[in-house]
Structure formats: C-alpha cells, structure tokens
Structure 1
Amino acid sequence: MKILFKHSVALCLTLFSFLFINAQQKRNMENTALLIIDIQNDYFPGGKMELAGAEPAANNAKKALEYFRKNNIPVIHIKHIAVNEGAEFFLPDTSGAEIHSSVSPKNDEKIIIKHFPNSFRETDLSEYLQKKGIKNLVITGMMTDVCVDSTVRAAFDLGFKNTVIGNATATRDRVLNGQVIKATDVQRSFLAGMSALGNLYAEIVSDIGSF
C-alpha cells in the first residue's frame, strides 16, 4: 500500500510539473509574435546572393514556425523587394525574391513587403503589431548583420522586447579593407552585439526549445 501511495504521489507531482511548465510557456508567449525576415530564394544555393548556412538556418526557422502555428501564436513574414538602383537580388517579379518553401506563408499569415533593411521603415509593421497588442518579438531571418540587426535595433527603439533565435539566422563572408571576415565570425559578432549590456537589444537563444 505504501509503495502504491508513493507511486501515486510521484505521478501527481510529475503531472503537476508538466502542467506548470506548459502554463509557464504559454504565459511567456503572451503578446508575442514570430518575425521571419527575408528567408527568400536568392539567399540559397543557386540564388544571386547565397549565404553561408542558409539551409540549416531556414530549417531552424521552420521549426519555430511550426511551433508558433501549433500554438496559434501570430506569425509575420517579411519579404524584401529591391527597388534601389543597381540592386542585384530580390528583384521585383523574380523567383529569387519569393519566400523560400521552408517557411512558405499560410493564407492567414501577415506578409509585409519592405524596401529597406529595417523592417519597420515605410511599412505597416509597427501599426500591425500595436493593433494585435504584440509586445514581444521572436526573430529569425537573413542576413544577420543587415536586415535582422537593423530590425532588432529598431524594434528596441520602439519598445519591443526581442528574442533572436541565433541558429535560425545566417549571413555571408564580408570584406573590410581587403581582408575577408568569415561568415561565422560576422554571425557571432553581430549576435553578441545584439545581446550586449545584458541583452539590451535582444536575448539570443539557440532554438525554439529554449522557450
């Protein structure tokens, strides 16, 4: 009888812990939206601006997307269309500018077209988030050091609390004064910069399981 009682208590505690964790996760995701920035075909093999690690980053963004869909949490897709003179990728009416199949939007998911690195600039993103009561952003996308970074910093200035899924972002090698800076170094440096001063601009997490 004592053994049965102990097993019953242990089962109850396990169930309580599970329910508590689930409730805590739901509370953590209140007033939250997923932002998927510029995961578009030109960044992938065969595209006009291939990134290092685009495919694994997109796969991780897909996992985040599936989590948000499963839990009925808002998803926003950002799509860059280049209209500036001399642009070489994300050109209007090209397959390279289309959102990659790994994170294809559903009909009820918001798509925002932008023409600048900052997803808030001359778009309705801020207005849309305010109408939805969104205060927290979970951010994935490309490129880490351009559109992701500029969007994160703009979001901070507008009062949003940001979380970036680091392995769901990607960039490419850069050149400074004739010296090549590897994509992995660019990636780490910009993620570190976003999380500087106690996660001032954003908390960086490794994957969706970190929530």
Structure 2
Amino acid sequence: MKKALIVIDVQNDYFEGGKYPLHKPQEALHQINRLEAYFKKIQQPIIYVQHINLMKGASFFEVNTSGVELHHDLNIGSKAIIIEKQYPNSFFKTNLLEILKNHAIEALVITGMMTHMCIDSTTRAAKEHGFNNLLIHDATATRDLVSADGKKVLATDVQTAYLWALMNFSQILSTNEFLENE
C-alpha cells in the first residue's frame, strides 16, 4: 500500500517564542524528523501543510511573519510538496486530494499540530475520502485549553481525548510502532 507522510502546521508560532506555543512541540518535531528520514529512504512522498491566516489582526500564523514559516528543523527536501491552507481541514480548498490521487496514495501517515484542531479535522476528512490513516500520536502536539465553564483542561488530557476519538478514523501508533512494523 503506497503511503504519504503528512506533516501539518509545524510552524514557528507553535514553538517557544512563538505567538501560540504548544505543549512539547519539540518532542513531536523530533519524531517527525525520524519519519521524514524514513520516507526519504523509501522514496515516498512527504507533504508539508502550512496554515496561512489571512484574517486581519490574526493572533498567529500571520502572513509575512516568521511565525507562519515552517519550522527550520524540518528536513524539507527538494522533492517535498508544500500545500498552503486557510482552514483546519487540510483538504478544504486545497489541492491535497488531487496530489494524493496523482501519486496513487492509499494510506496517510499523519503528524503535526494541533491534535485537537487541524489533526482532528484532517484525519476525519481523510477517512471520508477513503484513505487508510495512521496517526502517529507522539508526532503530534496540542495545548492546554479552557472549557466552556472556565476550567483549564491540560494538554495531556486534550491529547488523550482527541486520540481516543480519532481511533474510529485512524490507527493510532507511536513512531517506534510505525517504524518497527514497516
């Protein structure tokens, strides 16, 4: 089964010093780097998705800022495909589906940020498009949230809840589990 590595929104604003830092994004990036190396070795597509926030007064991923840039520690090669998006779902109003079909991709190895937003919506959409999804849980990151009643929800709890919910749309694996089974 032909696979593609999807790296969603690994952008500077999600890291220390950025406008919207996540919980342990560097750890997720380290796992993504391992997956990048593997996909380069097997010569399978790596698709980077970059969120561009065009809204006036955007709080992060603002156009023409360093925060919107893909993180410098990604190993973006000359054959990498970069897709720009403006919505959480990486398929919505982008050419992602067309690219995957043109490469005869059947399975997506999904990584990136934020688990509770863009990873969630992209994983669900990918399943609806008929892809076999492998979501790499330690290659994703999220952040603390505040509930409707004002309670803090820890990033670790957000991560656990969203990964559990996505089990109906994807196989959930660690980077090690994925690489050991390849």
TM (norm. structure 1) is: 0.82
Larger radius of gyration: 1
Task: Please state whether the residue corresponding to 1:209 is helix, strand or coil.
Answer: helix
Higher helix share: 1
Q: Deviations over 1:12-67 (max 9, x none)?
A: xxxxxxxxxxxxxxxxxx31100000000100000000000100011011111111
CA contact under 8 A between 2:33 and 2:75: conserved in structure 1?
no
Specify the code of the residue in structure 2 equivalent to 1:77. Answer: Y
Q: After the TM superposition, which residues 17-166 of structure 1 pair with which residues of structure 2 at under 5 Å, given as runs?
A: 30-166=1-137
Task: Please state whether the residue corresponding to 2:7 is helix, strand or coil.
Answer: strand
CA contact under 8 A between 2:13 and 2:21: conserved in structure 1?
yes
Identity of aligned residues (%): 43
Q: After the TM superposition, which residues 178-193 of structure 1 pair with which residues of structure 2 at under 5 Å, given as runs?
A: 178-193=150-165
Q: Larger relative contact order (C-alpha < 8 A, sep ≥ 6)?
A: 2
- Distance of 2:179 and 2:25 partners within structure 1: 20
- Distance of 2:179 and 2:4 partners within structure 1: 16
Alignment RMSD (CA, Å) = 1.0
Following superposition, the deviation at residue 119 of structure 1 comes to: 0.2
Gaps of 5+ in 2: none
Following superposition, the deviation at residue 193 of structure 1 comes to: 0.6
Pick which of 41-50 and 97-106 moved more: 97-106
Following superposition, the deviation at residue 86 of structure 1 comes to: 3.8
- Distance of 2:60 and 2:69 partners within structure 1: 11
Q: Which runs of 4+ in 1 moved over 6 A?
A: none
Following superposition, the deviation at residue 104 of structure 1 comes to: 3.8
Q: Deviations over 1:129-187 (max 9, x none)?
A: 01110110000000000000000000011111100110000000000110000000000
Following superposition, the deviation at residue 97 of structure 1 comes to: 0.7
Task: Please state whether the residue corresponding to 2:164 is helix, strand or coil.
Answer: helix
Following superposition, the deviation at residue 210 of structure 1 comes to: 4.1
